């Protein structure tokens, strides 16, 4: 091959890598955006579709649960059917589901479309970084790292800026716009992938069969537990459907653990990884960080809209008080860890997060909304310091042949934290509101009034009812902040005790690489 041909091939490869990185980054942004962008639209969705609190929670969680439940399976599927094919299928499913969300005329239709959207999101998110890695085969390792980093940064930016973007779209049009915008972007990504993203042929692994039973068993407990929690808070814990859902969740969850322990090397998730203290701590911390932030967002947004009559865009602006410090602190997290170690950095991050959450107890329904700002800023700093390490911790301590599985587990913990927070804190809010609103204050319609208050309807023609609604909702939100603050302190203890330098994977024959970050003391 002559020099001109070699240069031409090198140039073409560089163009393909840049296109693949751009497609992956935009895809990460779009899939992550739909986790948070919907939050600021919840008051408008509630008003337009007459949705209850559990329907609003499902609007968030249907996407998140489907997304999380399939992430572990997507890796196995991509090895078998090809990453590019699954990526394209995911984009198509996501775009069609976005159209269904946009045209939904009931909360049930919207929830179903959101679940389908989550399936598409998992197929895209679970393959886009692998596409980047494939495109950089033969390139310098530093080039691949930068490309993967760009895609991950795009996803982090979407998570932080989702409320502001969603607020702007709702303010400019309606809540349907947050879904409509996905369609043209999805079409552009499909065209760009077909024309510019290369297909890498791979020889399937001998043990590459998909753990179908495990894939089913990981989905069922997530959805049934979520259904039981949301329905129990709304209809009562003794209802047969609630008891049945929670029983199925426990049984199938136990079945998943039993199956994965038996399958070992062919398992969807090798549970032996949790014997590594640092790995277990990393998964828990990723779960907790999302639970304490995105898990609280829906209720804080309902409070801002209901108690303070904020528009969606103003609410998005308020939430930048968390997003901006989070992005700034994320840039500080890695250099700080080089100085004091990742364990101390994570412990400090969780303590700061706890302090911010306890500041949230200062909010008052009839007082200035600005009382929420110290909470948001402080929580943003704490979570930002933790964010750069949530993925690396799990991957760095896993055996080399389990790195992909560890990545999937760490990725799954994040959306599961969001879903768990929305479900659990919804139970807390509903219980507190129902406890504060009795028949003596409201009369025979107390149950219906309490249900309306928990869904964010806080303004009424009767001034006394408005005051009662705002007070009850605010007290529920304060209790959420107290419990979340205690959770963050528990996470700080986990960081201090379980993140250990001895768990680090040292240089191995398989990789010949020694990790450069420090978990424990430097």
Evaluate whether residue 282 is within a structural domain.
no
How far apart CA 159 and CA 33 sit, in angstroms, is 6
How far apart CA 247 and CA 184 sit, in angstroms, is 42
239 and 351 within one domain: no
246 and 169 within one domain: no
Half-sphere exposure of 498 (CA within 13 A, CB side): 21
How far apart CA 124 and CA 130 sit, in angstroms, is 10
485 and 371 within one domain: yes
How far apart CA 197 and CA 185 sit, in angstroms, is 16
Evaluate whether residue 449 is within a structural domain.
yes
Evaluate whether residue 435 is within a structural domain.
yes
346 and 202 within one domain: no
Which stretch of 5-19, 24-38, 180-194, 326-340 has the lowest confidence by average pLDDT?
5-19
Can you read off the two tokens belonging to residue 439?
A: 């028949």
How far apart CA 141 and CA 379 sit, in angstroms, is 35
**161, 184, 210 - which closes a domain:** 210
Q: What pLDDT does residue 271 have?
A: 86
Can you read off the two tokens belonging to residue 128?
A: 């886009």
223 and 363 within one domain: no
Evaluate whether residue 275 is within a structural domain.
no
Question: Between 330 and 14, whose confidence is greater?
Answer: 330
Evaluate whether residue 327 is within a structural domain.
yes
Question: Number of H helices and number of E strands within the chain?
Answer: 20, 0
Share of the chain above pLDDT 90, in %: 47
Burial class (CB in 10 A: 0-12, 13-18, 19+), 516: exposed
Evaluate whether residue 283 is within a structural domain.
no
Question: Between 175 and 202, whose confidence is greater?
Answer: 175
- For the stretch 281-300, pLDDT in tens is 989 999 998 898 889 989 99
Residue 206 pLDDT > 50, yes or no? no
Can you read off the two tokens belonging to residue 158?
A: 């979407």
How far apart CA 18 and CA 25 sit, in angstroms, is 10
Residue 179 pLDDT > 90, yes or no? yes
Q: At 25, which CATH number?
A: 1.20.1250.20
Q: What pLDDT does residue 299 have?
A: 94
How far apart CA 26 and CA 13 sit, in angstroms, is 20
180 and 43 within one domain: yes
Q: At 386, which CATH number?
A: 1.20.1250
The CB density around residue 376, as the number of other CB atoms within 10 Å, is 23
> Is the separation of the CB atoms in 423 and 61 below 8 Å?
yes
318 and 184 within one domain: no
> Is the separation of the CB atoms in 166 and 30 below 8 Å?
no
**223, 251, 279 - which closes a domain:** 251
Q: Considering only CA atoms, which of 504, 499, 458, 496 is closest in space to residue 477? A: 458
**161, 192, 210 - which closes a domain:** 210
**pTM greater than 0.75:** yes
Evaluate whether residue 276 is within a structural domain.
no
Q: 416 to each of 288, 410, 425, how far by Cα in Å?
A: 9, 10, 14
> Is the separation of the CB atoms in 288 and 296 below 8 Å?
no
- For the stretch 484-505, pLDDT in tens is 999 999 999 999 998 876 565 5
143 and 52 within one domain: yes
How far apart CA 258 and CA 250 sit, in angstroms, is 12
Number of domains in the chain: 3
Evaluate whether residue 265 is within a structural domain.
no
Residue 522 pLDDT > 70, yes or no? no
294 and 191 within one domain: no
455 and 361 within one domain: yes
363 and 400 within one domain: yes
Range of the domain at 382: 288-522
428 and 310 within one domain: yes
Q: 297 to each of 57, 320, 433, how far by Cα in Å?
A: 11, 12, 18
């Amino acid at each position: 091959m002559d020099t001109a041909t070699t240069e031409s091939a090198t140039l073409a490869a560089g163009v393909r890598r840049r296109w693949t990185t751009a497609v992956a980054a935009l895809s990460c942004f779009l899939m992550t955006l739909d986790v948070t962008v919907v939050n600021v639209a919840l008051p408008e969705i509630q008003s337009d579709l007459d949705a209850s609190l559990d329907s609003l929670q499902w609007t968030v969680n249907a996407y998140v649960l489907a997304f999380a439940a399939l992430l572990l399976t997507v890796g196995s599927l991509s090895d078998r059917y090809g990453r590019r094919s699954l990526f394209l299928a995911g984009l198509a499913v996501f775009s069609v589901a976005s159209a269904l969300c946009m045209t939904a005329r009931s909360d049930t239709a919207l929830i179903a479309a959101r679940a389908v959207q989550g399936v598409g999101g998992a197929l895209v998110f679970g393959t886009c970084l692998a596409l980047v890695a494939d495109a950089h085969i033969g390139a310098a390792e530093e080039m691949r790292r930068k490309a993967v980093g760009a895609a991950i940064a795009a996803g982090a930016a979407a998570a932080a800026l989702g409320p502001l973007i969603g607020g702007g779209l709702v303010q400019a049009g309606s809540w349907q716009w947050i879904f409509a915008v996905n369609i043209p972007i999805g079409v552009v990504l499909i065209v760009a992938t077909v024309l510019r993203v290369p297909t890498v042929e791979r020889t399937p692994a001998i043990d590459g069969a998909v753990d179908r039973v495990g894939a089913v068993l990981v989905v069922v407990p997530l959805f049934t537990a979520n259904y039981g929690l949301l329905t129990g808070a709304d209809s009562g814990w003794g209802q047969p459907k609630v008891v049945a859902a929670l029983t199925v969740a426990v049984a199938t969850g136990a079945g998943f653990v039993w199956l994965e322990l038996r399958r070992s090397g062919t398992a969807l998730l090798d549970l032996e990884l949790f014997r590594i203290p640092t790995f277990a701590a990393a998964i828990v911390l990723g779960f907790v960080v999302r639970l304490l932030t995105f898990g609280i967002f829906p209720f804080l947004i309902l409070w801002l809209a209901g108690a303070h009559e904020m528009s969606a865009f103003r609410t998005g602006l308020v939430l930048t008080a968390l997003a901006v410090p989070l992005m700034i602190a994320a840039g500080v997290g890695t250099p700080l860890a080089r100085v004091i170690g990742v364990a101390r950095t994570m412990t400090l991050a969780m303590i700061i997060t706890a302090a911010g959450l306890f500041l949230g107890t200062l909010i008052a329904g009839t007082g200035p909304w600005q009382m929420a700002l110290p909470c948001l800023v402080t929580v943003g700093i704490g979570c930002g310091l933790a964010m750069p390490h949530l993925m690396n911790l799990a991957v760095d301590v896993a055996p080399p042949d389990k790195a992909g599985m560890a990545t999937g587990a760490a990725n799954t913990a994040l959306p599961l934290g969001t879903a768990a927070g929305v479900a659990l804190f919804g139970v807390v809010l509903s219980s507190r509101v129902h406890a504060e609103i009795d028949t003596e204050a409201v009369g025979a319609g107390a149950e219906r009034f309490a249900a309306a208050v928990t869904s964010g309807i806080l303004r009424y023609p009767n001034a006394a009812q408005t005051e009662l609604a705002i007070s009850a909702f605010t007290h529920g939100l304060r209790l959420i902040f107290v419990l979340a603050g205690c959770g963050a302190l528990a996470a700080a203890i986990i960081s201090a005790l379980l993140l250990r330098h001895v768990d680090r994977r040292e240089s191995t024959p398989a990789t010949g690489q020694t990790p450069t970050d420090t978990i424990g003391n430097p």
